[in-house]
């Protein structure tokens, strides 16, 4: 990780390290694939798990439930792996505002980008670490979505301001 953190800010490796740090996760926490007897299928699933955080990093989507559902929708459109499609049912557990945001912003982005992008599971991320993240996004055909963390932060600030305004009105 120190190597990745010392790469230029515009590289895939640095983007990945910064994302891991921001989200407080580590690549060492991924479990190995279980319950798949077919060796080739098990390899594909293991590789998918290893690549998942790179998908997060280049899209900028956080690990909050809302970000995970958006990324799963992207992955399903891109890989057609059944488990990614099933994971999208987690949208039912989102709060109403998050669900609206998913269906108006992130689902359209996910399906459009997932379908047009190169197959992400075929990217050798280890060979892309020193490459420009923008250049890789362009090659893969991925547009970065709106920053979910910024949107959520602005929404919280708006609600707080509304509450403060409402509280001030009640006291008059």
Asked, for residue 25, whether it belongs to a domain, the answer is yes
Asked, for residue 154, whether it belongs to a domain, the answer is no
The pLDDT score that the predictor gives to residue 96 is: 96
pLDDT tens-place string over residues 3-39: 999 999 999 999 999 999 999 988 877 778 888 889 9
Please give the residue range of the domain that contains residue 43.
2-145
Asked, for residue 169, whether it belongs to a domain, the answer is no
The pLDDT score that the predictor gives to residue 169 is: 61
The pLDDT score that the predictor gives to residue 48 is: 84
In the chain, how many domains are there? 1
Q: What is the 3-state secondary structure (H, E, C) of the chain?
A: CHHHHCCCCCEHHHHHHHHHHHHCCCHHHCCCCCCCCCHHHHHHHHHHHHHHHHHHHHHCCCCCHHHHHHHHHHHHHHHCCHHHHHHHHHHHHCCHHHHHHHHHHHHHHHHHHHHHCCCHHHCCHHHCCCCEHHHHHHHHCCCCCCCHHHHHHHHHHHHHHHHHHHHHHHCC
Predicted structure pTM score: 0.86
pLDDT tens-place string over residues 46-78: 888 889 999 999 999 999 999 999 999 999 999
Asked, for residue 162, whether it belongs to a domain, the answer is no
Asked if pLDDT for residue 171 goes beyond 80, the answer is: no
The pLDDT score that the predictor gives to residue 45 is: 84
Asked, for residue 24, whether it belongs to a domain, the answer is yes
């Amino acid at each position: 990780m120190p190597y990745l953190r010392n790469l230029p800010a515009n590289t895939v490796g640095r983007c990945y390290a910064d994302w891991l740090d921001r989200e407080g996760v580590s690549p060492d926490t991924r479990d190995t694939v279980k319950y798949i007897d077919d060796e080739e299928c098990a390899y594909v699933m293991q590789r998918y798990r290893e690549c998942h955080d790179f998908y997060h990093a280049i899209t900028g989507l956080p690990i909050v439930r809302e970000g995970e559902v958006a990324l799963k929708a992207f992955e399903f459109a891109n890989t057609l792996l059944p488990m990614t499609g099933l994971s999208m049912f987690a949208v039912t557990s989102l709060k109403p505002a998050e669900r609206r945001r998913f269906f108006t912003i992130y689902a359209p982005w996910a399906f459009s980008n997932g379908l047009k992008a190169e197959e992400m599971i075929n990217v050798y991320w280890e060979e892309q670490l020193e490459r420009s993240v923008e250049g890789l996004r362009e090659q893969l055909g991925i547009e970065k979505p709106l920053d979910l963390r910024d949107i959520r932060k602005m929404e919280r600030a708006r609600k707080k301001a509304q509450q403060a305004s409402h509280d001030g009105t009640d006291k008059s």
